[in-house]
Every structure is written in C-alpha cells, then in structure tokens.
C-alpha cells in the first residue's frame, strides 16, 4: 500500500475520532444525545456481526440472542446477584462468549442456509428461555431497575455514568477498544489466516490451516462483542424485556452490515449510522419504517450487494489508479 493512501486513511480515521468526540457538543439536546448513545451501541453490534458475515462469510440470523443474553446477564448479575456493574459487564461478555463457543462449535459445522437456520433456532430457544424462566428474568414483564454504571471504588469515590453525555463517552471508549481489537487482528497473521479461509479454503487447508477452529474463534469474539453491546444497552436504558431477543435485533445488525459493507472496517460504522439514526428520526412513523428498511436492504442486495463502504473503496481505488498504478489499501 502506498504512502499517500496510508496517510489519507490515517487522517480520515483521526478526523472521524475528533468528530466523534465533539458530537455531543454539537448536539446538546438530550433526545439527540440519546440517539448518539444508541448509535454507539449499534456500532458495537454491527462490528460484531461483521466478523461473522464479513470475515467468516456466513449469515447469522440469531445474533439477537447474544445481544439479549449480554443484557440480561449483566442486569441479573448486577441487580439480583449484587455484582458491581464494573464486574457484571465483563462477566456478561464472558458468558456471551461461552454461549458463543457452544453454539458456534455446533452450528459452524454447517454452511449457508443450514447455518442460518441453526442460528435462528438457537436464538428462538434462548428467546423462549428468557421469556419463560420468569423467576430469573421476570419474563415478559421485563427486568427493571437495572443498576447504573458506576466507575470507581465503592466507599471511596464514585462516578455515576448515567447521563446521556457521560454514557456516550463510555460507549465511545468501548467502540474504540473494539475497533482497535478488530483492527489489530485483521492486520496480523491471524487476520491473514481468516482471509485465506474466506478466499480460498482448499488452499488454506493445504498449508495447514484448520478452517473450523478459526471460524469458531471468530464467532466467539463476535458474540463477546455482541454481549458487550447488550450489557451497554442494559445499563443505559436500565430496563430490558424479552423483546431484546427478537428477530428485530438480529435483522437490524444484518442490515447494517450488508448495506454498510461487510468485511470492511468502515462498513459497520456507515451501517450503524444509517440504521441507528434513521429509525430514531422516523420514530413517529412506527412499523412502516421497518418496511422501508427491509426494502432498502432488498434493494441493496440486488443492486449493491457488496455494500456502501466497498463501493466507496472501489470508487476511490479506480479514481486513484488513474493517477498512479500502485495498489491501495483499506479505508
């Protein structure tokens, strides 16, 4: 990758970071800041599903299970069991990962539609468990009064992260960390191995790569991030219900990833922007917005299946190759 492209890419990222940091100053309204927090959480969701759809190359229709599980796990651990939130959130991440290991180990033996159906079936089972194990989860009534996130040591000093502003920065930190994690993995030998598996599986196997093991690994990472997103959601809204496990929360990340551009680092952010901001702007429209989104998804699949981010990258690449013949890198 040539120097000009790398510089431009780094500047874009830096600029993006600055903008992200300054956004709450631009949007002073609590309602808009609320949207910003949701945007952040959706970024996490999109980044996590992107690993499955973009890097493994399979469509999971059951991602809501991990989102919901993370939320409920952290909520139950912090309220019923009494963990401090700073502990319940990582615990929820680990629990999601364990479930992800179990489900991934079983489901990833299958491909394509069979994998999709299996993830859907698992998600349904989890939804049913959450809905019906009323003693643990309060069932359809929802789990309320979830403790807020409190930073610091109890008894010494406490910093409540409850307002939209504070929570936004908290989520931003999470997004930054997750992004860094994914970036480091992608640009490493492990990332190369994932690429090999996705692009030419027989070749990958012929040099000693065990595709199944790597897929499971990627799946577990993905579910852990989804669990993190769920926990973040739970401690912001402080109420969750079994709806969190419904197809909606599997469909939206899928849309974000497909429309935004799977397999890229930029794609999930674009998708999250589109699908986090738009629903809120059209909140009054109600159910009909889902019709639009699903239609939008369908249109994207037909006309631009690779997603917006990839389209942009290809566009830039073509434009640049007119100037210089060297190869360019990822945005």
Partner 1 sequence: MSLLGFRGGMDPRQNGVRSMSLPTIGSTSMIDLDLLVIQLANGLVIGMGYTLVAIGLTMVFGILGVLNFAHGEFFMLGAFVAYVFGELMGWPYVVSSVVAIVLVMAISFLFELISVRPFMERDPEMTLLSTFAASLILMNLVEVIWGNTPLPLNTPFSKPLDLLFLVLTAQRILILLVGAVGVILLGLFLKFTKMGKVIRATAQNKKASALVGINIKKVYRLTFAAGTGLAAIAGVLIAPLSNLYASMGQGMVLKGFVVVILGGLASVPGAILGGLTLGITEAIAAGYVSSAWKDVIGFSILIIILLLRPQGLMGRREA
Partner 2 sequence: MALREVSLEVQPHEILGIIGPNGAGKTTCFNILTGFYSATSGTVFFEGQEVSSMPMEKRALLGMVRTFQHTSLFPKLTVYENVLTANYKMNATNLLHHIFRSGAFKKTERELDKKAMEVLEFLGLREQRDMMARNLPYGSQRKLEIANALATDPKLLLLDEPAAGMDPVESQDLMRLIKEIQKRGITIMLVEHNMKLVMGICDRLVVLNYGSKIAEGKPKDIAQNPDVINVYLGKKQDSFRLKNRG
CA distance 35 to 39: 6
CA distance 154 to 85: 11
**Closest distance between partner 2 and the C-beta of residue 316, in Å?**
16
Decide if residue 145 touches partner 2 (CB under 8 A): no
CA distances from 115 to 34, 104, 122, 180, 217 (A): 35, 10, 11, 29, 16
Decide if residue 190 touches partner 2 (CB under 8 A): yes
Applying CB under 8 A, the span of 5-13, 107-115, 233-241, 310-318 interacting with partner 1 comes to 107-115
Tokens of 217: 């690994």
Q: Under a CB-based contact definition with an 8 Å cutoff, are residues 254 and 262 in contact?
A: no
Tokens of 97: 């990962």
Applying CB under 8 A, the span of 66-74, 204-212, 229-237, 243-251 interacting with partner 2 comes to 204-212
**Closest distance between partner 1 and the C-beta of residue 157, in Å?**
46
Cβ neighbour number for residue 134 with a 10 Å cutoff: 11
Cα distance from N-terminal residue to C-terminal residue, the chain: 11
Decide if residue 185 touches partner 2 (CB under 8 A): yes
Applying CB under 8 A, the span of 174-182, 291-299, 307-315, 319-327 interacting with partner 1 comes to 291-299
Q: Which is nearer to partner 1, 109 or 283 (CB)?
A: 109
Tokens of 77: 């651990």
Among 29, 135, 155, 207, binds partner 2 (CB under 8 A): 207
Q: Under a CB-based contact definition with an 8 Å cutoff, are residues 189 and 207 in contact?
A: no
CA distance 124 to 318: 44
Applying CB under 8 A, the span of 75-83, 189-197, 260-268, 293-301 interacting with partner 2 comes to 189-197
Decide if residue 203 touches partner 2 (CB under 8 A): yes
**Among partner 1, partner 2, none, partner that 204 touches (CB below 5 to 8 angstroms by kind):** partner 2
Query: Which x/- pattern over 291-330 shows residues binding partner 2 (rule: CB under 8 A)?
Result: -----------------------------------xx---
**Which residues, numbered 123-182, are part of the site for partner 1 (CB under 8 A)?**
124-125, 128-129, 132
Decide if residue 82 touches partner 1 (CB under 8 A): no
Among 145, 288, 322, 325, binds partner 1 (CB under 8 A): 288
**Closest distance between partner 2 and the C-beta of residue 43, in Å?**
19
Applying CB under 8 A, the span of 41-49, 149-157, 217-225, 281-289 interacting with partner 1 comes to 281-289
**Among partner 2, partner 1, none, partner that 7 touches (CB below 5 to 8 angstroms by kind):** none
Please give the full DSSP string across 163-200, using - where no structure is assigned: SHHHHHHHHHHHHHHHHHHHHHHHTSHHHHHHHHHHH-
CA distance 185 to 196: 14
Positive or negative, the CA dihedral 175, 181, 185, 187 is positive
Q: Which is nearer to partner 2, 158 or 327 (CB)?
A: 327
Q: Under a CB-based contact definition with an 8 Å cutoff, are residues 95 and 69 in contact?
A: yes
Q: Under a CB-based contact definition with an 8 Å cutoff, are residues 80 and 191 in contact?
A: no
What residues make contact with partner 2 under the rule CB under 8 A? 181, 184-185, 188-193, 195-196, 199-200, 202-211, 217, 326-327
């Amino acid at each position: 990758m040539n120097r000009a492209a790398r510089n431009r890419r780094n500047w874009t990222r830096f600029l993006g970071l600055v903008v992200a940091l300054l956004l709450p100053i631009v949007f002073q309204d609590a309602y808009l800041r609320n949207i910003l927090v949701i945007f952040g959480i959706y970024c996490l969701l999109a980044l996590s599903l992107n690993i499955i759809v973009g890097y493994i190359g399979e469509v999971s229709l059951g991602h809501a299970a991990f989102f919901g599980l993370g939320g409920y796990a952290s909520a139950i651990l912090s309220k019923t069991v009494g963990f401090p939130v700073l502990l319940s959130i990582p615990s929820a991440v680990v629990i999601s990962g364990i479930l992800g290991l179990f489900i991934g180990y079983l489901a990833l033996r299958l491909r394509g539609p069979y994998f999709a159906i299996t993830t859907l079936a698992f998600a349904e089972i989890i939804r049913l468990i959450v809905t019906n194990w009323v003693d643990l989860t309060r069932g359809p009534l929802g789990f309320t009064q979830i403790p807020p996130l409190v930073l610091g040591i109890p008894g010494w000093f406490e910093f409540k992260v409850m307002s939209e502003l504070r929570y936004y920065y908290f989520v931003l930190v999470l997004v930054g960390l997750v992004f860094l994690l994914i970036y480091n993995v992608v640009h490493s030998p492990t990332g190369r191995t994932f690429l090999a598996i996705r692009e030419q599986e027989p070749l990958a196997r012929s040099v000693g790569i065990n595709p199944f093991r790597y897929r499971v690994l990627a799946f577990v990472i993905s579910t852990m991030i989804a669990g993190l997103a769920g926990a973040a959601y739970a401690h912001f809204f402080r109420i969750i219900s079994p709806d969190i496990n419904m197809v909606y929360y599997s469909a939206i990340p899928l849309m974000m990833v497909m429309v935004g551009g799977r397999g890229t680092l930029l794609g999930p952010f674009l998708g999250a922007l589109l699908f986090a901001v738009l629903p809120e702007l059209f909140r009054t429209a109600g159910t009909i917005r889902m019709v639009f989104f699903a239609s939008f998804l369908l249109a994207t699949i037909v006309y631009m299946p690779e997603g917006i981010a990839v389209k942009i990258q290809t566009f830039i690449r073509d434009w640049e190759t007119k100037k210089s013949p060297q190869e360019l890198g990822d945005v």
